Structure 1
């Protein structure tokens, strides 16, 4: 039985967190223009941050390979064939490439919001969002291709070591700060992150946790659905019963980071996952789930014993 006294967000607040970025912006346009601009800037940062994060992960993986295998090793993870195929698959355009680092696309949307031209602002937003999606998907595939090449060259143990190295130098530096914040602050950022990853989400709350359902997630879920594991691209599937697969392969290559960055390393440091992520089994593109316990230290083992395949 639930206890509403334990709830931190109202049903309306949870519904707002579940809105798509476009719906969120459209709603903000009905209010104060200055606040609408801030909503757009937050959405824009979310997309750019995820794209930049892929680049940082690729760079740290290359650094790991260079450190352990030198130039010869870098040559083994240097093929761009999958990236070329990915660009064709997702319809990457010259405008996407040139415009990715250009501020004028976002500036134009801010100007239209300030002028009260909501229809034109949303039309420009749709164009920008579609561009970000193509760039995001190609960058995600590029990362998965590099991880695939590491796995095929040296096997799952080295892949795990490489993901550990990358995690220590990127995402995991944020873990201590994240878990120290109030749960209602954490869920807002994690929801925004998932939307920046092009996931469609639904946010709910229990007495003990916030639950973000992704249907599907914006990375390996959409990769699987898009035929990136064998049909359209040659991304690797990790088949071994290994910690990377929670001992239950097969797992799409991108999904292996969940075991390392969200379970193995956090549990070594704190005794609990960060956060609990429930992935679908095998090569499915089914919904997955992020569980943010209000007291992370009290995350119950039954919440994550079968969190992944």
Structure 2
């Protein structure tokens, strides 16, 4: 347990956690080839993990629908129109698609680093990062499209059940491991995940917690900014005052997972959120905050009073 008031990271460490991945790689290049290759692998893994996570979420949602509604239900969420439109919106290329599962893209950059060609390595990294971002955004939109189809077919209660099912099969399985780790380890992991989600972040520390501010987040925040909830993609907006919206709709369809995966289920299992995530209200794309309490079990109720109606 961490004593209240004990600071675990220096201002310099917090600033480094807040900087974008390219800056991490530049710093590592100045240190040593070994540090640079290790940093490259970590960044590459963060991007791929997020993209793979989207695929797992879609697969578990399809499994949920199949178990409840069979082939007819799967047909109701089978439209790929939004995925096609998303690919056009984000400029997905054939090279992105063919290279998505090819680890040799990162291997080639590692070779440039080991050869001492930092300029070429950074140029190749920039291209790789841009490719991952296009893939990430299309996969993110695919998740939101499938959730939109579930919501429009069966309503908010079934949407909530589908998110619960998918979360329990994927992300929520990591919760016991995560909360058992030291706070300074957790914040590094969560900051790295948000960078892998193409969020711009600032990491701060208080006496009791680490606070990661996303401005904006890489998922629903950027979706809203990109016009994905308008005519471009027409992703669903959940209008109801429902636990999915913390009783305060409307909300972008993607954002509804926060109430289920980070509040409703964790509070049922542990009594506190995992972690406290404060999203913008309504359809705003304003900054959101992730608060990681140094002692998760001591998360104060006032920190999540806004979610009181979500359970």
How many Å separate the matches in 1 of 2:71 and 2:23? 48
Is contact 1:238–1:253 with CA below 8 Å preserved after alignment? yes
Equivalences, count: 307
Q: TM-score, normalised by structure 1?
A: 0.98
Partner of 2:64: 64
Query: Is 2:131 aligned against 1:131?
Result: yes
Partner of 2:79: 79
How many Å separate the matches in 1 of 2:103 and 2:202? 31
Aligned to 2:306, what secondary structure does the other structure show? coil
| TM-fit CA distance, 1:4 | 9.8
Partner of 2:192: 192
Is contact 2:28–2:35 with CA below 8 Å preserved after alignment? yes
| TM-fit CA distance, 1:230 | 1.5
Partner of 2:171: 171
Superposition map of 1:217-256 within 5 A: 217-256=217-256
Query: 1:139-186, CA deviations, whole angstroms, 9 ceiling, x for partnerless residues?
Result: 000010000000000000000000000000000000000000000000
How many Å separate the matches in 2 of 1:307 and 1:17? 28
Is contact 1:278–1:307 with CA below 8 Å preserved after alignment? no
Structure 1 outlier segments of 4+, above 6 Å: none
Is contact 2:246–2:259 with CA below 8 Å preserved after alignment? yes
Aligned to 1:229, what secondary structure does the other structure show? coil
- What 5-or-longer segments of structure 1 have no aligned partner? none
How many Å separate the matches in 1 of 2:8 and 2:184? 6
Partner of 1:117: 117
Alignment root-mean-square deviation, CA: 1.3
Partner of 1:12: 12
How many Å separate the matches in 1 of 2:22 and 2:156? 39
Query: 1:236-263, CA deviations, whole angstroms, 9 ceiling, x for partnerless residues?
Result: 0000010000000000000000000000
How many Å separate the matches in 2 of 1:307 and 1:216? 21
Partner of 2:301: 301
Is contact 1:276–1:307 with CA below 8 Å preserved after alignment? no
Partner of 2:93: 93
| TM-fit CA distance, 1:105 | 1.1
Is contact 2:246–2:306 with CA below 8 Å preserved after alignment? no
How many Å separate the matches in 1 of 2:307 and 2:6? 25
How many Å separate the matches in 1 of 2:246 and 2:22? 36
Partner of 2:275: 275
- What 5-or-longer segments of structure 2 have no aligned partner? none
How many Å separate the matches in 2 of 1:231 and 1:33? 47
Q: 1:116 to 1:243 in 2, by over 3 A?
A: same
Is contact 1:277–1:307 with CA below 8 Å preserved after alignment? no
